[in-house]
Amino acid sequence: MTIKRSFLFLFAITALLATAPTLISAKKQSEVLYQQMTPAQRAAFVSQQAHRIALEMSGNNYQFTPAFEAAIQRSVDRYVERIDNNRGDQPGKSDTRLMFERGAALAPTLRGIFKAHNVSPLIGIYIPAVESAYVNIQSPNSAGSVGMFQFLPKTGEKFGLSANDLLDVEKSANAAARYIGLNIKRFENDPMKEALAILSYNRGASNVEQDLASFVNAQNRACSICALTEQRDKLDANFQNENVYYVPRFFAAAIIGENPEAFGLPMQSLSSISRLF
pLDDT of 13 reads 39
pLDDT of 30 reads 53
With respect to residue 51, please indicate whether it lies within any of the assigned structural domains.
yes
With respect to residue 191, please indicate whether it lies within any of the assigned structural domains.
yes
- Give the number of domains in the chain: 1
pLDDT of 176 reads 97
Residues 6 or more apart whose CB falls under 8 angstroms from that of 69 comprise 43, 46, 47, 50
pLDDT of 29 reads 43
Mark the ranges of the chain whose per-residue pLDDT is less than 50. Answer: 1-29, 277
User: pLDDT tens digit string along 44-86?
Assistant: 999 999 999 999 999 999 999 999 999 999 999 999 999 998 8
pLDDT of 5 reads 45
With respect to residue 100, please indicate whether it lies within any of the assigned structural domains.
yes
pLDDT of 275 reads 65
Closest to 267 (Cα-Cα) out of 275, 257, 276: 257
Alpha-carbon gap, residue 3 to 88, rounded angstroms: 68
With respect to residue 20, please indicate whether it lies within any of the assigned structural domains.
no
With respect to residue 27, please indicate whether it lies within any of the assigned structural domains.
no
Start-to-end CA span in the chain (Å): 57
CATH of the domain at 70: 1.10.530
DSSP 3-state of 146: strand
Residues 6 or more apart whose CB falls under 8 angstroms from that of 35 comprise 80, 263, 264
Crossing angle of helices 121-132 and 244-258, in 10° steps, is 120
With respect to residue 12, please indicate whether it lies within any of the assigned structural domains.
no
pLDDT of 244 reads 96
pLDDT of 226 reads 96
Residues 6 or more apart whose CB falls under 8 angstroms from that of 201 comprise 127, 176, 179, 180, 183, 246
With respect to residue 206, please indicate whether it lies within any of the assigned structural domains.
yes
Which structural domain range is residue 96 located in?
45-272
Q: How far is CA 200 from CA 54, 212, 237, 255, 268, in A?
A: 17, 12, 16, 21, 29
Q: What's the pTM?
A: 0.87
User: pLDDT tens digit string along 137-164?
Assistant: 988 887 888 999 999 989 999 999 998 9
With respect to residue 213, please indicate whether it lies within any of the assigned structural domains.
yes
pLDDT of 246 reads 97
